[in-house]
Amino acid sequence: MKKSIEYTLNNINTIIPEIFDSLKTKVILFEGEMGSGKTTLMEAIASKHTKYLLLDCDDPFVRIQLENANTEELKQIILDYDITDPVSGSRNWTDVRQFNLMFETKLGSVSEGANSIYLRPETAQGIFVNYLNVQKTGRMKLPFGIAQIGKAFRNEIVARQFIFRMREFEQMEMQFFVKPGEEMKWYEHWKNTRMKWHKALGLGDDKYRFHDHDKLAHYANAAADIEFEFPFGFKELEGIHSRTDFDLSSHEKESGKKIRYYDNESKESYVPYVVETSIGLDRMFLAVLSAAYTEETIKKDDGSTDSRVVLRIPPQLAPVKAAILPLVRKDGLPEKAREIMNELKFDFNCQYDEKDSIGKRYRRHDAIGTPFCLTIDHQTLEDNTVTLRYRDSMKQDRVPVDKLSEIVDDLVSFKKLLRDLEMI
Give the sheet arrangement for strand 168-178, strand by strand: 12-14, 144-153, 168-178, 273-280, 233-244, 222-230, 208-212
Cβ 89 to ligand ATP shortest distance, Å: 24
Q: Which is nearer to ligand ATP, 81 or 234 (CB)?
A: 234
Cβ 71 to ligand ATP shortest distance, Å: 23
Cβ 370 to ligand ATP shortest distance, Å: 27
Handedness of CA 228, 234, 237, 241 (dihedral sign): positive
Cβ 238 to ligand ATP shortest distance, Å: 5
Q: Which is nearer to ligand ATP, 187 or 261 (CB)?
A: 187
Cα–Cα distance, 88 to 86 (Å, whole number):
6
Length reported for the chain: 424
Q: Which is nearer to ligand ATP, 87 or 107 (CB)?
A: 87
Question: Of 339, 337, 310, 340, nearest to 325 (Cα)?
Answer: 337
Cβ 18 to ligand ATP shortest distance, Å: 18
Q: Give me the residue whose beta carbon is nearest to ligand ATP.
A: 280
Cα–Cα distance, 381 to 352 (Å, whole number):
18
Cβ 234 to ligand ATP shortest distance, Å: 12
Give 388-397 contacts, CB < 8 A, sequence gap 24+: 389/362, 391/310, 391/312, 391/365, 391/366, 392/310, 392/312, 394/298, 394/362
Q: Which is nearer to ligand ATP, 124 or 129 (CB)?
A: 124
Cβ 154 to ligand ATP shortest distance, Å: 5
Cα–Cα distance, 307 to 295 (Å, whole number):
7
Cβ 155 to ligand ATP shortest distance, Å: 10
Q: Which is nearer to ligand ATP, 121 or 371 (CB)?
A: 121
Question: 106: which strand partners?
Answer: 116
Start-to-end CA distance of the chain, whole Å, equals 7
Q: Which is nearer to ligand ATP, 43 or 238 (CB)?
A: 238
Q: Which residues bind ligand ATP (CB under 6 A)?
A: 122, 154, 156, 165-166, 169, 171, 236-239, 278-280, 282-283
Q: Which is nearer to ligand ATP, 32 or 314 (CB)?
A: 32
Q: Which is nearer to ligand ATP, 226 or 325 (CB)?
A: 226
Cα–Cα distance, 315 to 153 (Å, whole number):
31
